[in-house]
Structure 1
């Protein structure tokens, strides 16, 4: 396997000894033969999930742009960069009120992955940069999320769905109530011919 960069993302061993290119090749093979060093790594599994989402959403767009000879990879580079960032554990946030002698935490990377998965589950939305910060009390989480929408998607409806799902799902996995949610539409993309 090579250490060449994948679409502008440096091929550093950021994924428990594996590069993004190695993970992409593993996904190309249908995750076969099973590689225990990849499958047992949370960072690798998060990156694989991100790559799979990118392929499912962006595949038809890439084909359309390549056919039109007008391909622009900047937004793909940004998504791949976010996959690299999302797979890192980052800060650890403790859950309150756990039994004495017990520690329960959620990592920054896991929360980013959750927010991205929630956003990507909304039809016509592709989640980009995710930033969040607990307030001073440590009980509320403020979020800033950048998204791309596909042309024809109602931004108002998609934003409402995003806010509703974040408010419902994030507190189930994090020791925070959801505070402010700054949702910014950074780009609008034309749908590919096969894009639902």
Structure 2
């Protein structure tokens, strides 16, 4: 997968998306211990791998019928991955002992949402945003997700599936009080641009 000069770049750990993309292209060999133990790098590698696999799947499935995903579409997803793997805020978790403080990073929650969404056939997560005072236990928050869906699939069905699965994952793995999961479908992939529009 090509990463352009304009791809934003450096994670908080100091590694760049370009370095991680090259490492992934080399099948993670030789192993780089700095990358392999860094949560940010591992999350970014996972996202880059999913985007690359999606590109390969689209090309294999529709070879000769559909164009390859555009560079700008792939770059926008890579850009969002780079932004979202940053740790961000520390979101508290409940614990019975008041002397114990547990938290999960906002970046880990966004990675969870991305992996849940990307596991739904026909959905590719673009961005994930957590709005509200997520650093306070039991404060209401909203999760807003932008996504691309496969051309020809039902927007309503995929949006509903995405919303339900994200709610379940957040309930199971976090202590966020999610009052809404907002889904914005802002792109289609697998579209045939030269197909004539209905009259």
TM-score, length basis structure 2: 0.82
Does the 8 Å contact 1:98/1:104 carry over to 2?
no
Residues 36-51 of structure 1 aligned to structure 2 (within 5 Å): 36-51=33-48
Change beyond 3 A, Cα 1:65–1:185: farther
Alpha-carbon separation, structure 1, partners of 2:167 and 2:130 = 14
Unaligned runs of 5+ in 1: none
Does the 8 Å contact 1:15/1:44 carry over to 2?
no
Alpha-carbon separation, structure 2, partners of 1:172 and 1:31 = 31
Residues 1-196 of structure 1 aligned to structure 2 (within 5 Å): 6-7=3-4, 8-12=6-10, 14=11, 16-61=13-58, 72-134=70-132, 138-139=137-138, 140-190=140-190
Alpha-carbon separation, structure 1, partners of 2:106 and 2:112 = 10
Does the 8 Å contact 2:69/2:189 carry over to 1?
no
SS class of match (1:163): helix
Does the 8 Å contact 2:66/2:190 carry over to 1?
no
Q: How large is the Cα RMSD of the aligned pairs?
A: 2.7
Alpha-carbon separation, structure 1, partners of 2:55 and 2:68 = 15
Change beyond 3 A, Cα 1:44–1:98: farther
Cα offset, 1:22, TM superposition: 1.3
Alpha-carbon separation, structure 2, partners of 1:25 and 1:57 = 18
Alignment length (residue pairs): 187
Alpha-carbon separation, structure 2, partners of 1:170 and 1:66 = 40
Cα offset, 1:67, TM superposition: 10
SS class of match (1:48): helix
Unaligned runs of 5+ in 2: 193-199
Change beyond 3 A, Cα 1:123–1:68: closer
Does the 8 Å contact 2:92/2:137 carry over to 1?
no
Instruction: Out of 31-40 and 69-78, give the one that drifted further.
Output: 69-78
Instruction: Out of 23-32 and 68-77, give the one that drifted further.
Output: 68-77
TM-score, length basis structure 1: 0.83
